[in-house]
Chains A and B, each alone.
Chain A
Amino acid sequence: ETGVTQSPTHLIKTRGQQVTLRCSSQSGHNTVSWYQQALGQGPQFIFQYYREEENGRGNFPPRFSGLQFPNYSSELNVNALELDDSALYLCASSLSKRLAGGREQFFGPGTRLTVL
Chain B
Amino acid sequence: AQSVTQLGSHVSVSEGALVLLRCNYSSSVPPYLFWYVQYPNQGLQLLLKYTTGATLVKGINGFEAEFKKSETSFHLTKPSAHMSDAAEYFCAVSPPNTGNQFYFGTGTSLTVIP
Task: List chain A positions with a Cβ less than 8 A from chain B.
Answer: 4, 31, 33, 35, 40-45, 48, 50, 55-56, 58, 90, 92, 94, 96, 98-110
Task: List chain B positions with a Cβ less than 8 A from chain A.
Answer: 4, 6, 31-32, 34, 36, 41-46, 49, 51-52, 90, 94-107
Residue in A90, A101, A108 whose Cβ sees the most chain B Cβ within 10 Å: A101
A58-B99 Cα distance, complex, nearest whole Å: 13
Q: Are A48 and B44 in contact (CB under 8 A)?
A: no
A35-B33 Cα distance, complex, nearest whole Å: 17
Q: Are B90 and A42 in contact (CB under 8 A)?
A: yes
Distance in angstroms from A3 CB to nearest chain B CB is: 9
A48-B107 Cα distance, complex, nearest whole Å: 22
Q: Are A48 and B99 in contact (CB under 8 A)?
A: yes
A45-B102 Cα distance, complex, nearest whole Å: 7
